[in-house]
Amino acid sequence: MRALVWHGTADIRCESVPDPEIEDGRDAIIKVTSCAICGSDLHLYDHFMPGMKSGDIMGHETMGEVVEVGRDNSKLKVGDRVVIPFTIFCGDCEQCRRGYYSVCERSNRNKDIADKVFGHTTAGLFGYTHLTGGYAGGQAEYLRVPFADTTHIKVPEGISDEKLLFLSDIFPTGWQAAVQCDIETTDTVAIWGCGPVGQMAIRSAVLLGAKQVVAIDRVPERLSMARAGGAITIDFSQESVVERLNELTGGKGPEKCIDAVGLEAHATGSIDAVYDRAKQAMLLETDRPHVLREMIYVCRPAGVLSVAGVYGGLVDKIPMGALMNKSLSVRTGQTHVNRWTDDLLRRIEEGQIDPSFVITHTVGLEDGPEMYKTFRDKQDGCIKVVIKP
């Protein structure tokens, strides 16, 4: 089959690789009908995340049709239409039973490495480093799904792939980012980053009833999409984020802050951004936490910081004094996809939201490598790429 294969920094190729096979009774193989490039794939493309090996297949936003089922898998049958959550989960362990699927204790087959790096393992992920299991990703013609009897979202016929695909990651990620803010009708929710997750977080915050939603970015087309979703926008290359947020909140700061940026913040004109670049270049820091610092600084005391953006390692100069003295709550985590998807699928079916609004490019698998660069460099108005293998 053909797949998008990682070979090094900014080196992804469309290649022929062996077809996946059933390896365990709970597995299934799906024929991929649609997949997408995620913002967090760019951390691998730029090689900021450790643990990739040449030859790894990319991708963790995937849907398709079941074509083969393991002997112990009674939940799926050939022909079922499924969206595959990016987190692989067993459904049986203590964390899964509590609904914390993204920290499943059993699905990471490289648990020993994760235990050493993070203290305790998190769930296995598709196409996202050997730290999370080294599983083949879904930017391919076929995908092997481990623990497939639990790791799936069955979806009905009659709704387009484009409306359903993002149940795999960005929609529940943006949703959880807003949900864990516990939004009140009096709240201002500030969202850093208007990429795909930021766009979903904006719409989630609106649906959950925030008084005002403020979105921060510098890319004009992303800001225009954010405004379309109901956000007041701040172009951080043109104005001071802190001043503007204080202005919009009567000088008190937003109650709820969402980081939809993560480890590759592109701040301009700030001293800490230059500092992070220099430290990263000298391998003294892995991530650039400008957004975290700004959120801690501007958030209203007793507010909530919700971190949906992906971080990979070590950060520096976090204003711990402000974080502690302001009584801020910090909520983080990869989203527990299946905890939200029944509800979100219902909202899509009822027409409350159509997540396909975010798609700007649809291409074939062979154009995937070129689209990684286009997406990374924010060229050609690119916000979300869907690939049809």
Partner 1 sequence: MRIATRPARGRGAHSSSERLAKGLGYFSLALGLAEAIAPGAVCRGLGLRGREDLVRAYGAREIATGMAILASHDPAPWIWGRIGGDAIDLATLASAMRDADEEERRSLSLAMVAVAGIAALDVACAWGLAGDKAIRSGFDYGDRRGFPRTPGAMRGAARDFRVPDDMRMPKALRPYGSGDEPTRARPSYM
Q: Which residues bind partner 1 (CB under 8 A)?
A: 99, 179-180, 182, 184-187, 199, 203-204, 206-210, 220-222, 224-225, 227-230, 255, 302, 304, 327, 329, 331, 343, 347, 351-363, 367, 370-371, 373-374, 376-383
The least distance separating partner 1 from the CB of residue 359, rounded to whole angstroms, comes to 7
| Measured distance CA(256)–CA(307) in Å, rounded | 11
279 vs 373, which CB is nearer to partner 1? Answer: 373
- Alpha carbons 71 and 91: distance in angstroms, whole number: 18
Q: Which is nearer to partner 1, 244 or 361 (CB)?
A: 361
Structure tokens at 374: 């286009």
Within 10 Å of residue 10's Cβ, how many Cβ atoms? 13
Q: Of 18 and 327, which has the nearer Cβ to partner 1? A: 327
* Least distance to partner 1, CB of residue 379, Å: 5
What is the nearest approach in angstroms of partner 1 to the Cβ of residue 238? 12
CB 87 within 8 A of CB 104: yes
Nearer to partner 1, 153 or 358 (CB): 358
Nearer to partner 1, 91 or 381 (CB): 381
CA distance 370 to 109: 31
Question: Token match 């936490």: residue?
Answer: 289
- How far apart are alpha carbons 251 and 262 in whole angstroms? 26
Q: How far is the CB of 321 from partner 1 (least distance, A)?
A: 19
Q: In terms of Cα–Cα distance, which of 313, 209, 302 is closest to 257? A: 302
The CA distance from 25 to 80, in Å, is 17
CB of 377 to partner 1, least distance (A): 6
Phi then psi for residue 358, to 5 deg, are -85, -15
Instruction: Round to whole Å and give the CA distance between 84 and 76.
Output: 12
Helix (H, G, I), strand (E, B) or coil at 28: strand
Task: Report phi then psi at 233, rounded to 5.
Answer: -110, 150
Q: For partner 1, give the closer residue by CB, 136 or 260.
A: 260
Task: Please identify, using beta-carbon distances, which residue of 61 and 187 lies nearer to partner 1.
Answer: 187
CB of 133 to partner 1, least distance (A): 26
Q: Which residues have C-beta within 8 Å of that of residue 385, sequence separation ≥ 6? A: 36, 37, 359, 360, 361, 362, 363, 371, 374, 375
Least gap, CB of 80 to partner 1 (angstroms): 27
- Which residue, 187 or 287, has its beta carbon nearer to partner 1? 187
> What is the nearest approach in angstroms of partner 1 to the Cβ of residue 85?
18
